[in-house]
């Protein structure tokens, strides 16, 4: 069985953390249901906003809103700081630009 250290020793990655991050990124790209569940979790824990969760999950803001409501989750639609408002605005712009691209342009940050 392969170990993360094997990739480092083969000089394919600089460290084990890089191997893990790349593996997680690939996993979330391939398994959209898993990606959606992770973004729901991150939204629930307050790590990301509804807009960011929708964008990273690859669904529209309205779809994410309906998914969260369907699970009985409370929506947090307001922002508490100016920085959070700026991040949400940037996320919304990225999402709108991605929906205008022919391929949808999914981008993940894990």
Tell me, yes or no, whether 19 lies in a domain. no
DSSP states along 74-92:
PP--S-SSHHHHHHHHHHH
What is the token pair recorded at 5? 């250290």
Question: Domains in the chain: how many in total?
Answer: 1
Owning domain of residue 86: 31-100
| pTM listed for this prediction | 0.64
Report yes or no on 108 lying in a domain.
Answer: no
Whether 59 maps to a domain, the answer reads yes
In a domain, 91, yes or no: yes
Q: Does 26 fall in a domain?
A: no
- What is the phi/psi pair of residue 19, to 5°? -65, -50
CA distance 72 to 63: 14
Q: Is residue 3 part of a domain?
A: no
Write out the chain's pLDDT in tens, 110 residues.
999 999 999 999 999 999 999 999 999 999 999 999 999 999 999 899 898 999 999 999 899 999 999 999 989 866 666 777 777 778 778 877 776 655 444 444 44
Structural domain includes residue 109? no
Q: What are phi and psi of 84, to 5 degrees?
A: -65, -40
| Residue entry with tokens 């307050």 | 46
94 within domain boundaries:
yes
């Amino acid at each position: 069985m392969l170990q993360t250290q094997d990739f480092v020793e083969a000089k394919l990655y600089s460290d084990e953390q890089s191997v893990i991050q790349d593996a997680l990124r690939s996993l979330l790209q391939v398994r959209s249901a898993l990606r959606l569940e992770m973004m729901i979790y991150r939204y629930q824990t307050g790590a990301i906003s509804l807009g960011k969760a929708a964008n990273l999950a690859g669904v529209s803001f309205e779809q994410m809103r309906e998914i969260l409501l369907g699970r009985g989750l409370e929506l947090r639609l307001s922002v508490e700081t100016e920085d959070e408002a700026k991040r949400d605005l940037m996320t919304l712009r990225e999402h709108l630009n991605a929906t205008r691209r022919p391929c949808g342009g999914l981008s993940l940050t894990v």
